[in-house]
C-alpha cells in the first residue's frame, strides 16, 4: 500500500540509494523540478524509473504554470508568458480569454503527458489583494473571486482534456499574504467576513477538485497559532466550510514558513487533516525523517487518492495539435501577447 507522501529526487537519474529508499517506502507520488530535467526522453525514463521503484503507477507531479513557474523550458518545450498577461489581455473579451487559457493548458498538459508527467500543480485560485507579496503577482488569474474562479475552470478543463490531473492551490488562499511562505511564515489578520467574501470563494467553487494544496499561511480569524497546513481548525473549515473533498496535499514541507524537525512537520500535517505530505528538494536525510513516521494511505485519504487516480488514468482523446496551436496563436495575436 502506498504511503502518504509525495517526494522529489535529487537529479536527472535515480541514485541506487534513492531507488532502494523509494522501493521500501512506496510513496503515493513524486514531483519533478528543473534539476530533474534535460530533454523529453530523459524525463520519460525518469518517470518510468520512479514508478518502478515505488512499485505502483505513482502520479508524477510538476509545477508547469508558465511564466516564472515553469520546470520544462526551451528548446525542448514551449516558453510561456506569465498567465496574467493572457488573463488580462485587453484585445480579447472574457469568453476569448477563457478559451485561450483552456487551450494554453491543454497544450501544456499534452506536453507533460508526452514525457510521462500526469499531474500539474495548477490552477492558482489565490486572489491577490493590494499590498500582498508578489510571490503570487503575475501568476494570478485575476483580481476578484468570480473572475479567478471562471478563468481557473478554463485552466482546469484544459488540463483534464489532456489527461493531466490539476491541483488547485493554495487553499484557502495566499493572495493576502504579506510575505513569501518559501522564506517566512505569513500571518493574515483579516476578519472572517473579508476572507469569506474575497479569499475563500474560488476554493468553494472548486469543491469538486480531485487534488488541492494547502497554504503555509496563518489565518488569525480561524487559528491564530498555526498555519493552514498544520491547523485542524483550518483543515476542518476547508472540508466543512468550503466543501473541499479532494485529496489534500501540503505545500512543500521544506519551506521556511514551517519550523521543527521533519518528523514533527509530517505528524502535525497529517494530524491536522492533510491526506499526504509534499517534500520537494530531494534531500535524502529529510526524506528519511519524514518516512520514519509516514502511515499508509487509508480511510478517506485512500478513497480520495483512488478517485484522483481514476481521473488521471482517463485516456486523453486524440486531437489535432496543429489546430490547437493555430487557434491559440490567433487569439494571442489579437490579444497582443507573445505566444509560445
What grid cell was written down for 293? Answer: 513516521
Contact status, residue 191 vs residue 264, Cβ threshold 8 Å: no
Distance CA(200)–CA(68), nearest Å, equals 25
Question: Is the bond leading into 316 cis (omega within 30 degrees of zero)?
Answer: no
Spell out the residues 6+ positions from residue 133 whose beta carbon is closer than 8 angstroms to its own. Answer: 177, 178, 179, 180, 186
182 is catalytic: yes
Distance CA(212)–CA(228), nearest Å, equals 13
Which one of 126, 251, 252, 275 is the catalytic residue? Answer: 251
Could you identify the residue written with the cell 490567433? 330
231 secondary structure, DSSP code: -
Spell out the residues 6+ positions from residue 109 whose beta carbon is closer than 8 angstroms to its own. Answer: 120, 158, 159, 160, 161, 162, 163, 164, 316
Which one of 182, 189, 208, 261 is the catalytic residue? Answer: 182
**Residue 211 backbone phi and psi in degrees, to 5:** -140, 140
Determine the angle formed by the axes of helices 40-54 and 16-25, rounding to 10 degrees: 50
251 is catalytic: yes
143 secondary structure, DSSP code: S
Q: What is the dihedral of CA 318, 321, 324, 326, to 10 degrees?
A: -150
Q: Annotated active-site positions, please?
A: 182, 251
Amino acid at each position: 500500500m502506498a504511503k502518504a507522501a509525495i517526494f522529489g529526487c535529487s537529479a536527472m537519474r535515480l541514485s541506487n540509494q534513492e531507488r532502494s529508499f523509494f522501493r521500501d517506502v512506496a510513496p503515493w507520488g513524486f514531483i519533478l523540478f528543473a534539476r530533474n530535467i534535460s530533454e523529453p526522453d530523459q524525463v520519460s525514463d525518469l518517470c518510468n524509473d520512479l514508478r518502478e521503484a515505488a512499485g505502483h503507477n505513482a502520479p508524477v507531479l510538476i509545477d508547469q504554470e508558465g511564466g516564472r513557474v515553469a520546470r520544462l523550458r526551451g528548446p525542448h518545450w514551449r516558453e510561456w508568458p506569465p498567465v496574467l498577461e493572457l488573463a488580462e489581455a485587453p484585445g480579447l473579451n472574457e469568453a476569448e480569454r477563457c478559451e485561450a487559457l483552456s487551450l494554453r493548458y491543454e497544450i501544456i498538459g499534452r506536453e507533460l503527458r508526452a514525457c510521462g508527467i500526469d499531474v500539474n500543480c495548477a490552477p492558482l485560485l489565490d486572489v491577490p489583494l493590494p499590498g500582498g507579496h508578489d510571490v503570487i503577482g503575475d501568476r494570478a488569474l485575476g483580481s476578484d473571486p468570480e473572475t479567478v474562479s471562471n478563468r481557473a475552470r478554463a485552466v482546469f478543463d484544459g488540463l483534464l482534456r489532456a489527461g493531466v490531473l490539476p491541483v488547485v492551490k493554495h487553499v484557502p488562499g495566499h493572495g493576502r499574504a504579506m510575505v513569501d511562505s518559501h522564506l517566512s511564515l505569513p500571518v493574515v489578520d483579516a476578519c472572517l467576513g473579508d476572507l469569506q467574501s474575497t479569499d475563500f470563494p474560488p476554493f468553494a467553487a472548486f469543491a469538486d477538485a480531485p487534488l488541492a494544496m494547502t497554504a503555509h499561511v496563518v489565518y488569525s480569524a480561524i487559528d491564530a497559532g498555526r498555519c493552514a497546513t498544520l491547523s485542524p481548525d483550518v483543515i476542518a473549515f476547508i472540508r466543512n466550510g468550503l466543501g473541499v473533498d479532494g485529496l489534500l496535499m501540503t505545500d512543500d514541507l521544506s519551506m521556511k514558513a514551517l519550523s521543527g524537525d521533519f518528523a514533527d512537520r509530517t505528524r502535525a500535517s497529517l494530524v491536522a487533516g492533510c491526506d499526504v505530505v509534499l517534500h520537494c528538494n530531494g534531500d535524502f536525510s529529510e526524506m528519511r525523517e519524514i518516512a520514519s513516521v509516514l502511515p499508509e494511505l487509508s480511510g478517506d485519504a485512500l478513497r480520495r487518492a483512488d478517485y484522483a487516480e481514476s481521473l488521471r488514468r482517463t485516456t486523453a482523446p486524440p486531437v489535432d495539435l496543429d489546430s490547437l496551436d493555430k487557434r491559440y496563436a490567433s487569439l494571442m495575436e489579437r490579444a497582443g501577447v507573445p505566444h509560445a
